[in-house]
């Protein structure tokens, strides 16, 4: 739509401004009296030539490597232009002496080729510009589709990862015969509803994500005993700020996975601060167990990739262990 509008404006600029001004450089007042047919034919030829170039789109043909078609087109146009230089002279000039006749023929020839070169140069410049824009837009569309596909893949990988860990929690409650099992399943069903209702959303209100994290933390608390202390502090000046869904849960999940114990005192501290300009997320937990193979889990890898796609150059992420305490700090610049 925008491209078509720009094309229309450029065509109008050429037809209504540039060409009329160029034609006014000719001795129009004399030619319109003594050489009317030639002047009308020249104007018609100039406009026809312009729209032939616009329709043919030589830069696009060049990108498609259709060199023969370009050669044939240019050969035809130059031949027609050369033939046009032999346009009949008015009858009153036939009796002029040879020198005057040659001079007038040369002027006409130079005029015709001048307009041919002007129209050719202008048309090719415009079409080349449009072709460059087309290439840029095409690449951006391909990149956007690629990013969208990658985000969908990462989200698809995160959900099974989360479900597996949560089902382990529920399984442990069932085996222990805990009276908290029913409450846990109610919270789990609420979490599932959230996950699949937001599955197609690229951005959601932060209030929805915070409710989801609260439900997850409450679910985890049901399986923990008095040895694990959990603190969740949330400050949100506005719950309508938009953020990607499930961008924080991986770190919360890992804190519970590796920072809890049934026989040793430990603490999980989760802090979230959000305003209209930034999101600050931090977790601290004692390292009660290590990941197998000492490798970063798939959840954190996916989270990094999502952040890189969604907030390139606008986020800071640190995660690491120091003195037996694992710390995560994520800062996202939400300003557009």
Residue-wise pLDDT for 52-105, tens only, equals 888 888 888 887 788 888 889 889 988 988 888 877 765 555 555 555 656 667
Per the confidence metrics, is the pTM higher than 0.85?
Answer: no
Q: How far is CA 315 from CA 35, 55, 245, 311, in A?
A: 71, 47, 16, 6
Q: What is the pLDDT of residue 316?
A: 92
- For the residues 182-205, what does the mean pLDDT come to? 75
Evaluate whether 272 touches 235 at the Cβ level (below 8 Å). yes
Q: What is the pLDDT of residue 25?
A: 74
Q: What is the pLDDT of residue 326?
A: 92
Q: What is the pLDDT of residue 205?
A: 87
Q: Is the pLDDT of residue 270 over 80?
A: yes
What's the DSSP call for residue 87? P
To the nearest whole number, what is the mean pLDDT of the chain? 78
Q: Among the listed ranges 143-157, 185-199, 282-296, 312-326, which one has the minimum average pLDDT value?
A: 143-157
Q: Is the pLDDT of residue 300 over 60?
A: yes
Closest CA to 282 of 209, 332, 224: 332
Tokens 């005192």, located at residue: 265
Q: Among the listed ranges 118-122, 276-280, 327-331, which one has the minimum average pLDDT value?
A: 118-122
Evaluate whether 285 touches 326 at the Cβ level (below 8 Å). yes
List of domains in the chain: 2-140 (no CATH), 178-333 (3.30.565.10)
Summarize pLDDT for 306-315 with one digit per residue, the tens: 788 788 889 9
Sign of the Cα pseudo-torsion (256, 257, 258, 263, in order): positive
Q: Is the pLDDT of residue 143 over 70?
A: no
pLDDT band at residue 152, thresholds of 50, 70 and 90? low
Q: Among the listed ranges 95-104, 113-122, 203-212, 228-237, which one has the minimum average pLDDT value?
A: 95-104
- For the residues 36-49, what does the mean pLDDT come to? 83
pLDDT band at residue 233, thresholds of 50, 70 and 90? very high
Q: What is the pLDDT of residue 268?
A: 93
Number of H helices, E strands in the chain: 11, 7
Q: What is the pLDDT of residue 102?
A: 60
């Amino acid at each position: 739509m925008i491209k078509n509008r720009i094309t229309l404006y450029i065509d109008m600029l050429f037809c209504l401004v540039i060409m009329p001004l160029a034609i006014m450089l000719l001795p129009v007042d004399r030619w319109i009296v003594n050489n009317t047919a030639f002047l009308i034919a020249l104007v018609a030829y100039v406009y026809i030539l312009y729209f032939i170039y616009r329709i043919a789109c030589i830069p696009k043909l060049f990108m498609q490597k259709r060199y023969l078609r370009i050669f044939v087109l240019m050969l035809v146009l130059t031949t027609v232009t050369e033939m046009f230089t032999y346009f009949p002279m008015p009858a009153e000039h036939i009796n002029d002496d040879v020198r005057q006749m040659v001079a007038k023929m040369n002027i006409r020839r130079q005029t015709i080729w001048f307009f041919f070169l002007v129209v050719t140069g202008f048309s090719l410049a415009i079409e080349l510009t449009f072709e460059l824009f087309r290439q840029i837009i095409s690449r951006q569309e391909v990149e956007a589709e690629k990013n969208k596909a990658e985000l969908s893949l990462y989200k698809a990988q995160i959900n099974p990862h989360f479900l597996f860990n949560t089902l382990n929690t529920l399984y442990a409650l069932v085996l222990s015969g805990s009276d908290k099992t029913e409450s846990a399943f109610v919270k789990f069903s609420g979490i599932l509803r959230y996950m699949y209702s937001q599955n197609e959303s690229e951005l959601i209100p932060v209030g929805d994500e915070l409710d989801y994290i609260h439900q997850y933390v409450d679910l985890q608390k049901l399986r923990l005993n008095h040895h694990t202390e959990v603190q969740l502090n949330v400050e949100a000046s506005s719950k309508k700020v938009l953020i990607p869904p499930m961008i924080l849960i991986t770190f919360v999940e890992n804190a519970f996975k590796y920072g809890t114990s049934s026989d040793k005192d430990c603490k999980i501290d989760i802090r979230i601060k959000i305003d209209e300009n930034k999101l600050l997320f931090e977790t601290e937990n004692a390292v009660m167990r290590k990941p197998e193979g000492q490798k970063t889990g798939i959840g954190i890898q996916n989270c990094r990739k999502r952040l890189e796609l969604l907030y390139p150059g606008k986020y800071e992420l640190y995660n690491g262990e120091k003195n037996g305490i694992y710390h995560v700090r994520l800062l996202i610049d939400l300003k557009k």
